[in-house]
Structure 1
Amino acid sequence: MAWRDGKASGGRLTLFMASIILGITALVSIQSFSDNLKENIRLQSKSLMGADFIIDSRQLPNERVQEIIDSLGGAKGMEVNFASMAAFPKNESSKLVRVRGLEGDFPLYGEIETEPADAATSYISNEGALVDATVMLQFELEVGDIIKIGNASLPITGTLISAPGNSAFASSVAPPVIVPFGIIERTGLLQVGSRLDYNYYFKAPPEMDLDALDKELDPILDAENADLDTHTSGSRQLGSSYGNVGKFLNLVAFIALLLGCVGIASSVQIYIKEKLRSVAVLKCMGASRKQTFLIYLIQIAGMGLLGGVIGTIGGILLQLTFPSLLQDFLPFEVQLSLAPQPIIMGLLLGVFMSVLFALLPLMSTWYVSPLQVLRIQETQEERPRKARALVFIGILIFIFLFSLWLLEDLRYAIGFVISIAVTFSILAGVATLFMRGIKKFFPTKWSFTSRQSLLNLFRPNNQTMVLLVAIGVGAFLISTLYFTKDILLAMAQLDSNSDSPNIILLDVQSEQKEDVANSITPKGLPVLDNIPIVTMRMHTIKGRAANDLRQDTTLTMNKWVLNHEFRVTYRDSMISSETLTEGEWVPETPKVGLIPISIADNIARDAEVVVGDTIVFNVQGVLMETVVGNIRTVDWARMQPNFNLVFPKGVLENAPQFHVITTNAPNAEASANLQRELVQKFPNISVLDLRQIVTLIENVLDKIAWVINFMAFFSILTGIIVLIGAVRTSKYQRIKESVLLRTLGAKSKQILKITALEYFYLGVLGSGIGILLSLISSQLLATFVFKAPFVPSLVPFLVLLPGVTLLVLLIGLSNSRSVLNSPPLVVLRKEGR
């Protein structure tokens, strides 16, 4: 019976099966790609790091660290890397790069890929440089050209395509340049303030337990200002980074699947209403409640299974496009394979979610009386509230458990379920209030077509609620993405006035600061800041030594503050990005007592200190006793030099220091001219052009937004299919209305206008409410998450709202053509059978 009845009615439910297919496709593709990505990271973790484990430090290893290196059999390879300006005499240009000085057998795993291929090894004997491929193209460089790094001029012996230890985003800011380790001394760049990283690469014997090694040595190395990283911990960290993006995309796909299920519930409700008389006939012939219920349950389950199969196949095929979409964010080429878990999940979800969301309308068949055959009534008996409540609870529990499985975090899962419930409830509530409002305040003086279009929104078998939910959620997702992107870009935006720095000069030595300033001002550019910087570490906090705190297993303090090398400044006033929250600002060091310092609120929180607590700093070998004089909040989103720790004037002036100088270049040409001259005169200085960084951030956000919009498209497409299916499912009801209207003298033009107005109302209301909800949620995100001002974009209002409305209107009209073209006698004959 299920098969026979399903064959006759299959076309009515095909579109809603398509909505399940879309959701399953999105989920399976993301889940399958995530599994492949994790497996690739696990298999390639050694090649990504270039070793089994590394010991890294900001300085040359001291005696204790060297003993540890020797006890491990000595490093097989080593590296020093730092950011520096590179000059290209061929075209008098310059670029901030990441210099990597290598020696030994690095990489121990993987390979340095170059063009020509032999340059990966010959650069050492030729004392040349391997230059990032993007830089080679950008500055039209060729093998054999000269690159100047500090005081050293080197021939470019090859184009660097890839190498272990390079991150995609870091390479975008400062592309890598590989040189022999022996060249570094000749550059003259190892000066005070130079931010250096020394890495020592090791190959572990097969029997070595890397996790146990990390647990044993990492605390010891932390006390010596060094660190140990294994390829396993690196792969976990990298996998977690990409996994977070995957979890978010999974949630977007899950929302598309939920929309499809809402559509299925709505379609099954109308479908079952039309089958109630058949159910009553079956019961008159002796069919039991269970039999009649199972007939339609098997139909829905079969539809879900078929949708799951097609969606799973589609998801496997769709994941093939992901490597090209995400290639800018991946440090390696992903090898795709079939992952069993997403396939099983796709097949089961199709059946389970179809049945779960169809249970409420299916329950109607259980309570149909055989006497229904003889009764003429538009409504059926109300289903027991207990059964309805159990189904709703089952749906909520499923959504919670599935989101918990995706997010692996109880709080986030609860938050997701609450946000979904709130969003769906608001949209459903708006639809209900809208229909009730029309009934109560019906515009009786409007024209016939306008009144009839409103009446259609609450006619029997109307689909107003499900359509508003589908349209609204799709518009909500897309609008939220636009608004969030605007928030992030606004945080990185530079002020356009000439008093805001957009060029930052780093590592300016004390004896150079006057000459650097004299190189800036003749060009008509201002010297906005000349900031002294002193490096130091925390020696004791509230009387307890940092080494003792590191070994305290009960410590709740964030231990990164114990190992961090702070770069601090001194001045007599606060700047625009700072706000005093506790204590009093002290401009100059008092003649007696401890030195009062200003500490950022994030450091105060992590170090668990308050105003009045004492901290002893190791200032390059000299111990300095201080007291927390005040705590301030810092707007870290402002693109200007900000500091965790600020000393008053009168104490650090004679300490070893370097300077940061800022200026404002009105255009790219002035910036390029200044950089060219500074690199020639002061090769140790690094120049940050903040406009280039903002452009880079904008490009990255555009790419991320494109990927997310690609997945959110599934939600929009699901909403469209729900809309098409809703119109198709209620087509016969519309044909009946059309016949009645024509009998009363209505013309096709009037019926067309009634239909157009109805879908215009649905499009405007659904997309409008979705955009308004996203506006509220984005304001909350800006206030509580990003802590940034929010200026909403007009794109959702000017593009999305009219676009979605027009789309809804076109779909509604195109699917209503058969209603307009059906002669009244056709319907009367069907009704008479």
Structure 2
Amino acid sequence: MTVTTEDFAARRAAATDDALGWRPRLRLALRFALREMRGGLSGFYIFLGCLTLGVGAIAAVNSVAGMMSDGIAKEGKAILGGDLRFALVQRQATPDEAKFMNGLGEVSDTQTLRSMVRLSDGSDQSLAEVKAVDGKYPLYGRILTTPDKPLSELLGKTATGYGAIAAQGLYDRLGIEPGDTVKLGNLTLTMTGVIDREPDLLAEGIAFAPRLMISEAALAGSGLIQPGSLIEYAYKVKLPPGTDPDKAAAPANDHFPASGFRVRTAKNASPSLQNNIERFSQFLTLVGLTALIVGGVGVANAVGAYLDSKRAVIATFKSVGASGRFVVAVYLIQITALAGLGILLGLVLGIIAPFLTARFLESIIPIAADVSVYPLALLTAAVFGLLTALAFALIPLGRSRDVPATALFRDAGSGSSARMRWSYFGAAIGLALLIAGLAVAMASDRKVALIFLGGTAAAFVILRLVAMGIIWLARRAPTVRSTPLRLAIGNIHRPGALTSSVVLSLGLGLTLLVTLAIIDYDLRREIGTGLANRAPDFFFVDIQNGQIDPFRQKVDELAPGSKLDAVPMLRGRITRLNDEDVATMKIPAEGGWVLRGDRGLTYAATLPENSRLTAGKWWPRDYSGEPLVSFAAEEGRELGLKIGDTLTVNVLGRNITAKIANFREIEWENLGINFVMVFSPNSFAGAPHAWLATLSIDDDSEAAEKKVVNGITNAFPAVTTVRVKEALDTVNALIAQLALAVRVAAAVALVSSVLVLAGALAAGNRGRMHDAVVLKTLGATRVTLIQAFATEYMLLGLATGVFAVAAGAAASWFVIDGIMTLPWVFDWTIALTTLIVSLVLTVGFGLAGTWRILGQKAAPVLRNL
């Protein structure tokens, strides 16, 4: 072996290693590490690529989420419509309540409801989100319209009634233009403009129909306001400068304990959107972390290959007495420096992500994106990147520490089989646990994070077992006559085989891709076809008590033989559980949605037909004792409720306390009439309410559905008709937007897997070079070797693809059936595509890497054996 100047320097350094203190030793290690890095980044491009992708994904997701959260916080007043927002359902504020709110500051009130807007001749109609505003609207922000005129002019009185403005979607649905007239309830409206931007749109929640904006006087004259009508009254307050919104709102429930106010401040302008941003960013962060962990395998491969190429230098260090600690320090410094470069590149991706996505997000969510740099998001990504790089680098570093110099001088040997000190293995495990702990601590839903990380860890273990199983089968495979096949099988189980690296690197990425693809497929199929087939065709809301019998007769006339289900409905909010104020409770992640906002309530003398009791007994038909309630079994279990517990609901400004008499299992998936809470009939004696109805018709043609909608809308202008197909289309569009981000995240994981695969195959080329040279010396032709290598890669790719399909199917089944409780259907197209992708990647990258070594001359290789 040729001894270089660097070797002599290493000898001198090693000779003084033990004589130096730790600080001089560290400086010496740093000097040698930097000197050796002058050779460039050869062998570390995949290392850098894996870290860049993983860190970039985490930084980008959290930066974009930070941008959206900052946008909501910055425009909180405009989004909320004021500094404070008091909301009531089905009733207006009393004079005393109105006086209290007016005493806080300037007040603007709006009323929102869903109703049918129809053409003047009654030939067509559309569901609309109707919003009636007063002369002070909006207190904050600015509504943008075409033409740009004051609301008082656009919504004022006209020759035929009142003016109205609407989102472009309503014009498109009805085929009308500004200047045309439409009917709303008993009122004729002249369309005077288009709403381009509504400042407080997000405060209203998810919209299932286009916005129609009118004046309060117009709504009062429409005939839509009836006892029990589902109308939300919102009172927005503009406080004097310097007033603390929380302190101003605090006395509201004390002064009016039975009011049922839902109070929000500008700090919590759109809680549902903020929660969704947090949940979705958490999910994408976990996917990005998975990509980073997959990349960690590439880090381990790259570090192992790099140390393998430095065996001569390590051997020189150890031959002249350098300690293993000194060797590890030299290469740990190098790896940390390179990891820092990869992290820096990933952070650059995270910095530019908000700038690239801002305009796209503004088109989906009406928030002015104030793009900036988000240090916390970048720091989070950097910490995950550094910990992952160190966790996976310690394993090959630990193996190199105690390998004797005699083994390193044999060029054909390998340090990969050397035993590693438990301290290094323990440190790697400790870093992995730290990564998992940080991910769980940062998660809004820790249970989901634990399941996700647990699944990733289990996948690593299972993939290792799969690789061992493939090796075991290959070792016990019968001898075959085909030389290429015999060589391929031998390569799979020989020492130093690529089996474990290929299965581990590609298996996790493909498994994640299959899981997400099947979930996406099942959600789209269920919402687009499954739910549409099982769900009723129509929902009818705001059927008045005196209209229910004429309504049934009209339905029989329009759709003979159809199935109509109707139940009374009120809206109420749970305010107390077992005398504990819900506002001060720690609301659990699961089931907590029941306690947030208003819920639909009903009463019944008998058990609803689509429910079954799981605990307790149903009350008698003529029950007249204390109010009783039947609660949904799953949600009750998640909230920790039991038979005999009490809950208080606020309905129409009255607090009603009822005892839980039983629990029922509900079939939510059929989209029928289902309620979390069903009360005994005496609970709401004398309370004004409307009816909710569903209709399933035998003839689901467009003409038959249009006949029903036109007939009901013209006969009962105040009844709101919701076509289930249109609502499902809205949900499908939302899922399509979310699926795009999920696919991008899955693609990042797959690209990381591909990089790791390429690195694993490249790391194995050194051994392949020896194999090829020896086999060619013994008479093997290039064609035979190509066939052998191609067969080996094909077998590994097929085995990995089969595992990914099986594991992805199991994971998607757990999510769809176990968590979402939806029907799980396996798509064989996804399985076939996965197998093809796996084969193409393994065979393609494998042959691309081995093609070069097939032409290697024998003499230089044989000389070092």
TM-score (normalizing by structure 1): 0.89
User: Are the aligned partners of 2:296 and 2:389 in contact in 1 as well (CA < 8 Å)?
Assistant: yes
User: Are the aligned partners of 1:533 and 1:569 in contact in 2 as well (CA < 8 Å)?
Assistant: yes
Instruction: For residue 308 of structure 1, report the CA deviation from its aligned partner.
Output: 1.9
Corresponding position of 2:492 = 457
1:394 has 2:405 as partner: no
Residue among 149, 153, 176 paired with 1:118 = 149
Matches of 1:371 and 1:595 in 2, distance apart?
A: 86
Residue among 781, 806, 815 paired with 1:781 = 815
Q: How many residues end up aligned between the 2 structures?
A: 822
Q: Secondary structure at 1:178's aligned position in 2?
A: strand
Residue among 331, 336, 347 paired with 2:371 = 336
Residue among 57, 60, 74 paired with 1:43 = 74
- Aligned-partner residue type, residue 849 of structure 2: N
Residue among 600, 622, 632 paired with 2:632 = 600
1:166 has 2:201 as partner: yes
- Aligned-partner residue type, residue 793 of structure 1: D
Structure 1 unmatched runs, 5+: none
Residue among 51, 68, 76 paired with 1:20 = 51
The 5-angstrom pairing of residues 710-749 of structure 1 reads 710-749=744-783
1:357 has 2:413 as partner: no
Corresponding position of 1:582 = 615
Residue among 725, 733, 754 paired with 1:699 = 733
Residue among 369, 376, 383 paired with 2:404 = 369
Instruction: For residue 149 of structure 1, report the CA deviation from its aligned partner.
Output: 1.0
Q: Secondary structure at 1:156's aligned position in 2?
A: strand
CA deviation vs aligned residue, 1:182-236 (integer Å, no higher than 9, x gap): 1111110001331111111111122212223344434555521222211112266
Q: Decide whether aligned partners of structure 1 residues 99 and 768 sit closer, same or farther in structure 2, where only a CA change above 3 A counts.
A: same
- Aligned-partner residue type, residue 779 of structure 1: W
- Aligned-partner residue type, residue 318 of structure 2: K
1:676 has 2:699 as partner: no
Q: Secondary structure at 2:365's aligned position in 1?
A: coil
Corresponding position of 2:13 = none
User: Are the aligned partners of 1:38 and 1:239 in contact in 2 as well (CA < 8 Å)?
Assistant: yes
Instruction: For residue 154 of structure 1, report the CA deviation from its aligned partner.
Output: 1.0
Corresponding position of 1:816 = 850
1:480 has 2:515 as partner: yes
Corresponding position of 1:640 = 672
Instruction: For residue 121 of structure 1, report the CA deviation from its aligned partner.
Output: 4.7
Is 326-335 or 447-456 further displaced after alignment? Answer: 326-335
Matches of 2:271 and 2:98 in 1, distance apart?
A: 28
Q: Secondary structure at 1:787's aligned position in 2?
A: coil
Instruction: For residue 323 of structure 1, report the CA deviation from its aligned partner.
Output: 3.3
Q: Decide whether aligned partners of structure 1 residues 396 and 702 sit closer, same or farther in structure 2, where only a CA change above 3 A counts.
A: same
User: Are the aligned partners of 2:304 and 2:396 in contact in 1 as well (CA < 8 Å)?
Assistant: yes
Q: Secondary structure at 1:11's aligned position in 2?
A: coil
User: Are the aligned partners of 1:309 and 1:346 in contact in 2 as well (CA < 8 Å)?
Assistant: no
- Aligned-partner residue type, residue 641 of structure 1: I
Matches of 1:817 and 1:538 in 2, distance apart?
A: 70
Is 231-240 or 42-51 further displaced after alignment? Answer: 231-240
Q: Decide whether aligned partners of structure 1 residues 651 and 135 sit closer, same or farther in structure 2, where only a CA change above 3 A counts.
A: closer
- Aligned-partner residue type, residue 478 of structure 1: L
Corresponding position of 1:426 = 462
Instruction: For residue 242 of structure 1, report the CA deviation from its aligned partner.
Output: 0.8
- Aligned-partner residue type, residue 168 of structure 2: A
Matches of 1:552 and 1:740 in 2, distance apart?
A: 76
Instruction: For residue 366 of structure 1, report the CA deviation from its aligned partner.
Output: 2.5
Q: Decide whether aligned partners of structure 1 residues 534 and 692 sit closer, same or farther in structure 2, where only a CA change above 3 A counts.
A: closer
Matches of 1:395 and 1:738 in 2, distance apart?
A: 39
Corresponding position of 2:26 = none
Instruction: For residue 315 of structure 1, report the CA deviation from its aligned partner.
Output: 2.9
Q: Secondary structure at 1:751's aligned position in 2?
A: helix
User: Are the aligned partners of 2:49 and 2:342 in contact in 1 as well (CA < 8 Å)?
Assistant: yes
Q: Secondary structure at 1:95's aligned position in 2?
A: strand
User: Are the aligned partners of 2:101 and 2:107 in contact in 1 as well (CA < 8 Å)?
Assistant: no
Q: Secondary structure at 2:693's aligned position in 1?
A: strand
Q: Decide whether aligned partners of structure 1 residues 831 and 406 sit closer, same or farther in structure 2, where only a CA change above 3 A counts.
A: farther
Q: Decide whether aligned partners of structure 1 residues 509 and 568 sit closer, same or farther in structure 2, where only a CA change above 3 A counts.
A: same
CA deviation vs aligned residue, 1:258-285 (integer Å, no higher than 9, x gap): 1111111022223323322331123335
User: Are the aligned partners of 1:93 and 1:676 in contact in 2 as well (CA < 8 Å)?
Assistant: yes
Corresponding position of 1:107 = 138
Instruction: For residue 167 of structure 1, report the CA deviation from its aligned partner.
Output: 3.2
Matches of 1:601 and 1:614 in 2, distance apart?
A: 15
Q: Secondary structure at 2:53's aligned position in 1?
A: helix
Q: CA RMSD in A?
A: 3.7
Is 193-202 or 274-283 further displaced after alignment? Answer: 274-283
Q: Decide whether aligned partners of structure 1 residues 656 and 324 sit closer, same or farther in structure 2, where only a CA change above 3 A counts.
A: same
Q: Decide whether aligned partners of structure 1 residues 563 and 474 sit closer, same or farther in structure 2, where only a CA change above 3 A counts.
A: closer
The 5-angstrom pairing of residues 606-645 of structure 1 reads 630-645=662-677
Matches of 1:715 and 1:614 in 2, distance apart?
A: 48
Corresponding position of 1:504 = 539
1:403 has 2:439 as partner: yes
Corresponding position of 1:82 = 113
Instruction: For residue 252 of structure 1, report the CA deviation from its aligned partner.
Output: 0.9
User: Are the aligned partners of 2:573 and 2:649 in contact in 1 as well (CA < 8 Å)?
Assistant: yes
1:148 has 2:180 as partner: no
- Aligned-partner residue type, residue 462 of structure 2: I
Q: Decide whether aligned partners of structure 1 residues 625 and 776 sit closer, same or farther in structure 2, where only a CA change above 3 A counts.
A: closer
Structure 2 unmatched runs, 5+: 1-31
User: Are the aligned partners of 2:569 and 2:692 in contact in 1 as well (CA < 8 Å)?
Assistant: no
Is 715-724 or 355-364 further displaced after alignment? Answer: 355-364
Matches of 1:422 and 1:148 in 2, distance apart?
A: 60
Matches of 2:858 and 2:250 in 1, distance apart?
A: 79
Corresponding position of 2:3 = none
CA deviation vs aligned residue, 1:356-386 (integer Å, no higher than 9, x gap): 3212212334324344466677355844542
Matches of 1:691 and 1:222 in 2, distance apart?
A: 41
1:567 has 2:601 as partner: yes
CA deviation vs aligned residue, 1:520-550 (integer Å, no higher than 9, x gap): 33444534124130538699999x9xxx764
User: Are the aligned partners of 1:473 and 1:770 in contact in 2 as well (CA < 8 Å)?
Assistant: yes
User: Are the aligned partners of 2:88 and 2:261 in contact in 1 as well (CA < 8 Å)?
Assistant: yes
TM-score (normalizing by structure 2): 0.86
Instruction: For residue 437 of structure 1, report the CA deviation from its aligned partner.
Output: 3.0
Instruction: For residue 616 of structure 1, report the CA deviation from its aligned partner.
Output: 9.6
Corresponding position of 1:98 = 129
Is 600-609 or 798-807 further displaced after alignment? Answer: 600-609
Instruction: For residue 714 of structure 1, report the CA deviation from its aligned partner.
Output: 0.7
1:196 has 2:231 as partner: yes
CA deviation vs aligned residue, 1:437-479 (integer Å, no higher than 9, x gap): 322x222135221121122223343332232122221122122
User: Are the aligned partners of 1:427 and 1:469 in contact in 2 as well (CA < 8 Å)?
Assistant: yes
Q: Secondary structure at 1:335's aligned position in 2?
A: coil
Q: Decide whether aligned partners of structure 1 residues 422 and 342 sit closer, same or farther in structure 2, where only a CA change above 3 A counts.
A: same
